[in-house]
Structure 1
Amino acid sequence: MKRFLIGLSCALLSVAALATGPTALRKRMQASMLLTGTIVVAPDGSVRSYVIDHAEKVPKDVGSLIERNVWQWKFAPVLVNGAPVAAEAKMSFRVVAKPVGDDKFSIGISGAQFGEGSPGQSISIREMSWPAYPAVAARARVEGTVYLLLRVGRQGEVKEVVAEQVNMGVLDNERQLARWRPLLAKAAIAAARKWTFNLPASGRGVDDDNWFVRVPIGFGIGPRADDYGQWEVYIPGPRQPIPWFDGGRQVLSSADASPDGAISQPDRGLNLLTPLDGA
């Protein structure tokens, strides 16, 4: 596996909270950063080139991890009229740091998504209202991200929505986390039921009866500074089984690999055949 062990003093000073707190909670804490960029895949599925957005803000250790892994990625060839072609796609991926003891952290790429299609070939937001922050959570300064999965019908309406996962930014005991997760999830789901979408006008899947969409909804206190390339501590939540989505469908992206408010189609996009860590 192409993972790195790095010292707290050299790269993770901002996540010192990982070394404090109750033992059970400390074992589940992670620090992560979400990075974006563009990738070009050759007709044979190999990586021709890639660019990381705002590379100057990315820690050196993280940049080295990405460089060593990306060149080993292999994608399923993209076909146009049955012939393989080069393809360019937006990408986003999450880098995670986990404590391994002695003020050391193991870092690796935990999830990614690779977009597909030109404008008009992918589903897009028509109308979207942001959920109300639950007052009790705001007063308690509870922060978290709800990863919604939606099933969209032929009229662009939301037919089903579920909170696939809820990651918490508050370092609390498990009893309290179990209270906050459904509270944030309920608020996000209530707003999502009213959203509408523009359907693809061309391309693969234009005649489908349903489309599946992921949308991360972040709940935070106060304005946020530019945190691109910065580590954030959180407690990952369990994934909720989804009967109408799970089962035989090829999932091409990770639930937590999208920026807040961005939409993605988990069963569409470039198909990465090799592990994210390049092994």
Structure 2
Amino acid sequence: MHARTLAIMAARLETDFDMRSVLVSALLFFSVPATATSTKPGEIEQLMTLRVDGEIEVDKTGRVSSYQAETPLPEEFAAIVDKAVAGWTFHPPVLNGKPATARAKVRITLASRQEQDQHHVWVDDVSFPAQKVSEREGRVSVEVPASNYRVVESAPKPRYPTFAVGALVSLDARVDSSGRVIDAAATQCRVHAIQADMPVSRACKTLEREAIRAAKQWTLAYEGRDGGTADLRHVSINLQYAVPHLDVSSDHAPGVWRPESRTAYRDSPWQSENRIGVADVHSHGLPRAPVLDLRTGIIEEAL
């Protein structure tokens, strides 16, 4: 599907069932390791994504002791996901300086790309989502995922563009000890619905520019129980753009494959600093005790 003709209604996936069946068959008989190819800066990657929600428990050594998927999947596909998760390893969880068992909600995002009549499927993202702490009604919602921080209510909301779009823009915000945003950078733009006459690349530039403008006026408020914002330096923020008069959010429901056009992931200039939140494939820690931190090698792992 070409980026310039990705129409709003196309994102509703009238072929969900057929696509899911094809992918299950491809997974069952796939023998050549599949790897995700990196998207170059300025390019738009096109693929299919699927969310699988569940709950995971990790023992004191960092091994998965249990995993329970909450998203209904075809039996053969579910078995493949379960087997992959069982083999993951984490850095040993620690609570108050001591080894601890950790249990948390987990969201696995799978991605698929067709290459030479085969569907390559890999683990695109793993996150440990907390309840959204800041979301506003309307065309644009804001969330600081997996953290105890929220954007204060008085902060200006990003302006919705002049074209209809369903998208997610992830930001890295650099903040001071009081929670005030002192700089912001866009790390990725993901579009799953857009009016047919708007190129995705141009749309993403518009969305990112406006998101950064608004974010630089924000202050983050702390809602946790364990102190203030002394360690707050670096936070991931998601901005969700919804198509007016169309419930596009349902298209990203767990268990449903949907098309996605996205930019390459870009590190922010302050990437090495402490990070709070999970918004993209480069951030896997859970910033609450006990911390769950995946070892390397999981993202882009073929199924």
Q: Tell me, yes or no, if structure 1 residue 188 matches structure 2 residue 202.
A: no
Q: Which moved more, 1:192-201 or 1:87-96?
A: 192-201
Q: Following superposition of structure 1 onto structure 2, how do residues 172-183 of structure 1 map, counting pairs within 5 Å?
A: 176-183=199-206
Structure-2 residue corresponding to 1:68 = 83
**Residues 1-279 of structure 1 mapped to structure 2, 5 A cutoff:** 8=19, 10-11=21-22, 28-53=45-70, 55-56=71-72, 58-102=73-117, 104-114=118-128, 122-128=147-153, 130-135=157-162, 137-138=163-164, 142-169=165-192, 176-199=199-222, 200-202=224-226, 207-208=230-231, 210-221=233-244, 222-224=246-248, 226-227=250-251, 228=253, 229-245=255-271, 247=272, 255=280, 268=287, 269-273=291-295, 275-276=297-298, 277=301
Distance 1:64 1:9 in 2: 15
Is contact 1:167-1:234 (8 Å) kept? yes
TM-score normalised by the chain length of structure 1: 0.70
Structure 2's unaligned 5+ residue stretches are 1-17, 25-43, 134-145
Residues of 2 paired with 1:190 and 1:252: CA distance?
Answer: 20
Contact 2:91 2:294 in 1 (8 A): yes
Q: Does the C-alpha gap of structure 1 residues 216 and 109 become closer, same or farther in structure 2, counting only changes over 3 Å?
A: farther
Partner-residue secondary structure (3-state), 2:199: helix
Matches of 2:249 and 2:265 in 1, distance apart? Answer: 29
In structure 1, stretches of 5+ residues that fail to align are 1-6, 14-26, 258-263
Indicate the SS of the match to 1:191.
helix
Task: Give me the identity figure in percent.
Answer: 23
* 1:25-81 superposed Cα distances (whole Å, 9 cap, x missing partner): xx942000223322111111111112223x22x344542332111100111111234
2:179 and 2:232 in contact (8 A); partners too? no
Q: Residues 3-23 of structure 1, C-alpha deviation per residue, up to 9 Å, x if partnerless?
A: xxxx8582469xxxxxxxxxx
Deviates more, 1:62-71 or 1:164-173: 164-173
- Aligned pair count reads 241
* Counterpart code for 2:61: D
Displacement of 1:180 in angstroms is: 1.3
Paired residue secondary structure (2:297): coil
- Aligned residue type for 2:128: F
TM (norm. structure 2) is 0.65
In structure 1, the partner of 2:36 is: none
Amino acid at match of 1:187: E
| Cα distance in structure 2, aligned partners of 1:48 and 1:9 | 29
1:83-139 CA distance string (max 9 Å, x none): 21101122222110110233x3122211112369xx9x943215256533201x22x
Give the CA deviation at 1:248. 7.4
Deviation digits for residues 140-195 of structure 1 (CA, Å, limit 9, x no counterpart): xx43321111123222222221111112335899x933321111112322333343
1:196 CA drift (Å): 3.0
Give the distance between the partners of 1:106 and 1:71, measured in 2 at CA. 21
1: distance between equivalents of 2:167 and 2:62? 36
